[in-house]
């Protein structure tokens, strides 16, 4: 019964926003964006919390949020890990094992509204503020981002090219924000008035049009080496996203897998990441 009800919740939101768009389009856009940015899961389970408790833990205040930071010290170069949507730093458990064996100094953090950090909403510009803060404080030579974390990493690198990042790895990451918004439109059955108002809202708030918010566009001028992983049958983020980014990223390599899914915790992926960082 619960699943049956949840199936219709997005359409109820859509009816509300569609109706509101005729009388107060600005408010419809604002509320629609809040719904889009709302974090509904991503808090750690007891098992995940046990793993995270093995790290050295600290907190930073970034854009009004208490952000929990995890540090696994090592003698080697610093690696910053950036998790995906409705996840947390425990998703890196398998990779952290390999990174520690190789001697890397590891920094991870929970995004606003995720893991043990505060907040209820997340979007890429806010997440980028966190990545920029971590990069400025911990000076990572390497950054690894999964899913939206990869998109955020490329956006941050584009926005602040002076950050001391020398290699970037993305895993199952999206490229085009307009594709994400098209999915949101379809899920809620939003009308064109809402979408036009959302376009104006995003442009006014973040200074960029939805069509322009593109990882493929962000990475065009970069000289930093990149390694992209994407499964051809990824059901969360389309494979063509990394194809497009790779096409526009001059110094990148795309690793295509089949059947490894979206998360990519497998040994073969982790070993290739370590090899790339050590080159």
Q: What is the mean pLDDT of each run of 10 residues along the chain (279 residues)?
A: 57 95 96 97 95 97 98 98 98 98 98 98 98 97 98 98 96 98 96 97 96 97 97 97 98 97 97 97
CA distance 203 to 223: 28
CA distance 137 to 139: 6
Per the confidence metrics, is the pTM higher than 0.85? Answer: yes
Give the C-alpha distances (Å, rounded to integers) separating 219 from 40, 161, 208, 247, 273. 30, 10, 16, 10, 20
Strand order in the sheet with 252-257: 56-62, 65-72, 105-109, 78-82, 142-146, 167-171, 226-231, 252-257
């Amino acid at each position: 019964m619960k699943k049956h009800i949840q199936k219709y919740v997005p359409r109820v939101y859509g009816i509300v926003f569609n109706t509101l768009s005729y009388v107060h389009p600005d408010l419809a856009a604002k509320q629609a964006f809040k719904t889009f940015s709302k974090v509904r899961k991503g808090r750690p389970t007891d098992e995940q919390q046990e793993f995270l408790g093995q790290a050295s833990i600290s907190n930073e205040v970034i854009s009004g949020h208490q952000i929990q930071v995890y540090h696994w010290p090592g003698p080697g170069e610093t690696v910053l890990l950036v998790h995906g949507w409705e996840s947390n730093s425990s998703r890196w458990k398998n990779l952290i094992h390999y990174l520690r064996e190789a001697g890397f100094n590891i920094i991870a953090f929970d995004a606003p509204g995720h893991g043990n950090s505060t907040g209820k909403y997340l979007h890429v510009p806010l997440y980028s503020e966190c990545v920029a803060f971590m990069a400025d404080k911990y000076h990572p030579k390497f950054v690894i981002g999964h899913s939206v974390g990869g998109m955020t990493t490329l956006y941050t690198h584009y926005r602040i090219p002076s950050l001391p990042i020398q290699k970037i790895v993305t895993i199952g990451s999206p490229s085009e924000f307009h594709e994400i918004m098209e999915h949101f439109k379809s899920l809620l059955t939003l009308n064109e008035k809402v979408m036009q108002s959302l376009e104006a809202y995003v442009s006014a708030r973040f200074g960029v049009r939805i069509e322009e918010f593109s990882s493929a566009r962000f990475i065009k001028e970069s000289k930093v080496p990149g390694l992209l992983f994407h499964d051809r049958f990824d059901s969360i983020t389309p494979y063509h996203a990394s194809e497009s980014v790779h096409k526009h990223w001059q110094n990148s390599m795309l690793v295509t897998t089949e059947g490894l899914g979206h998360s990519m915790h497998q040994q073969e992926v982790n070993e290739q990441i370590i090899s790339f960082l050590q080159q």
